[in-house]
Structure 1
Amino acid sequence: MPVEIERKYLVTSDAWREDMAGTPYRQGYMCVSELATVRVRQAGERAFLTIKGATAGLSRAEFEYEIPVPDAEIMLRDHCTKPLIEKTRYEVPFGGKIWTVDVFDAANAGLIVAEVELTHADEQVQIPPWAGREVTDDPRYRNSSLISDPMNGSDQ
């Protein structure tokens, strides 16, 4: 079974930024419950349908399938809770890992979050100097929560 194991941090400075291109993301949620979350995501020129299981510590089951972009556009428009999550994602190498830095737009403008995927829950990672408070266990920073309760940079 595919498993996602990640840690999440608020970003405290622009020190991570270099001349790198980000990928625009639009994503919405068809279902958000304690048992599972069903997400539709358009990432640049690609689209995905993702089912995530309940979170247990740092991990949860994750099943992701590429879907046609026109299908994703219809699902995002007609079948997902509004507002959609809009953000730009950057891949930032640090400490032997690739960190994803999400710069949120629209209702969550100003919020910047960094995530790092782990190979196992006990894995030790080097935390970048631009990563501040860890919010892995704070459900308010889950993308699915940001739809119903948006945050901006001043909420950090």
Structure 2
Amino acid sequence: MSESGFGDFEFERKFFVRELPAAAASDPTPALIVQAYLFASDGYAVRVRVQGPAPAELDATPAELVVTLGEESLGTMTAKGPAVGGTRYEAERELDPLVAAQIVGRSEHVIAKVRYSMWLGEDGWIIDQFLGRNAPLLLSEVERGSPVVDLAIPAFCVSEVSEDDRFRNEYLAHRPFGTWAGEYLAELEHRGPTFVDTLGRNQFEGS
């Protein structure tokens, strides 16, 4: 949720990543996120999330992983609207983490991921490393309190997927990346990387 006077809106851009960058891998406190989508249609979604410190062992189902988070985790419920131009309505409220964990553990459409955080230049970035049926997907995101314009894009960002609905978490919860990864990689090889060019001037690392 934005804290810069825009109310319940988030402003972010998202990118496909091939390998976990060293700056992310050095994060000493990565987070485990397990979240369920109770509803998702036409860009609208209702999500329940449990988040806490990532355990050393991640080879488990989402239902098993959520149990490892325990009482020190954070539980939230979020209502989302369709994304337009890197802006999306998002109203988030806290839940008792034990209640949130029970909801997630009983839900059908669930994803699990490890989130790494880092600071690059003027922006804070995250890398989400998806687990289970969404592995080996890696996505990077940058979020601001206002529209993300004139962005310095790191070299690890292979192609922008901010406007590709297939990379929204609610889509991945219903159609895991592992079931269509080959299709996407062939598409990327054929057309090459693309980046949104309507949000100011993109600045590419090394150019």
Pair 1:132-2:175 in alignment:
no
- Asked if 2 retains the 8 angstrom alpha-carbon contact of 1:95 and 1:125, the reply is no
Q: State the identity %.
A: 30
CA contact (8 A) 2:13 2:148 kept: no
CA deviations over 1:42-87 (Å, ceiling 9, x no partner): 0111111011112222111111111111110121123x333x1010
SS at match of 1:55: strand
2:115 corresponds to which residue?
A: 89
Q: Helix, strand or coil for the counterpart of 1:5?
A: strand
CA distance in 2, matches of 1:34, 1:68: 29
User: Any idea what the Cα deviations from partners look like across 1:97-142, whole Å, max 9, x if unmatched?
Assistant: 1111100000101100000113333621211111110000110000
Of 9, 13, 31, which residue of structure 2 is paired with 1:7?
13
Among 81, 98, 113, which residue is 1:70 paired with?
98
Alpha-carbon distance, 1:22 to partner? 0.9
TM-score, reference length from structure 2:
0.69
Q: Describe the SS at the equivalent of 1:54.
A: strand
2-structure distance, mates of 1:14, 1:75:
31
In structure 2, the residue matched to 1:19 is 26
- Aligned twin of 2:197: none
Report what 2:191 is aligned to: none
Between stretches 133-142 and 8-17, larger displacement belongs to: 8-17
Once the two structures are TM-superposed, the CA of residue 17 in structure 1 deviates from its matched residue by 3.3
Q: Name structure 1 gaps, 5 residues minimum.
A: none
Matched, 1:102 2:109: no
Tell whether 2:61 aligns with 1:34. no
Task: Give the match's secondary structure for 2:113.
Answer: strand
* Counterpart residue type for residue 26 of structure 2: D
CA distance in 2, matches of 1:55, 1:96: 24
- Would you say the 8 A contact 1:22–1:88 is kept in 2? yes
- The letter of the residue matching 1:116 is V
Distance verdict in 2 for CA 1:57–1:115, change over 3 Å: same
Matches within 5 A, 1:39-58: 39-44=47-52, 45-58=73-86
Q: Which moved more, 1:46-55 or 1:113-122?
A: 113-122
**Structure with larger Rg:** 2
In structure 2, relative to structure 1, the CA distance for the partners of 1:67 and 1:106 (3 Å cut) is: same
The answer to which structure has the higher helix fraction is 2
The amino acid across from 2:20 in the alignment is: D
CA 35–134 in structure 1, closer or farther in 2 if over 3 Å, else same: closer
Report if the CA contact (8 A) 2:117-2:127 is conserved: yes
Scaled by the length of structure 1, the TM-score of the pair is 0.90
The one-letter code of the counterpart of 2:93 is Y
Q: How many equivalent residue pairs?
A: 154
Structure number having the greater strand percentage: 1
Runs of 4+ in 1 over 2 A off after TM superposition: 12-19, 118-122, 152-156
User: Secondary structure of the equivalent of 2:177?
Assistant: coil
Compare relative contact order (CA 8 Å, sep 6+) and give the higher one, 1 or 2.
Answer: 1
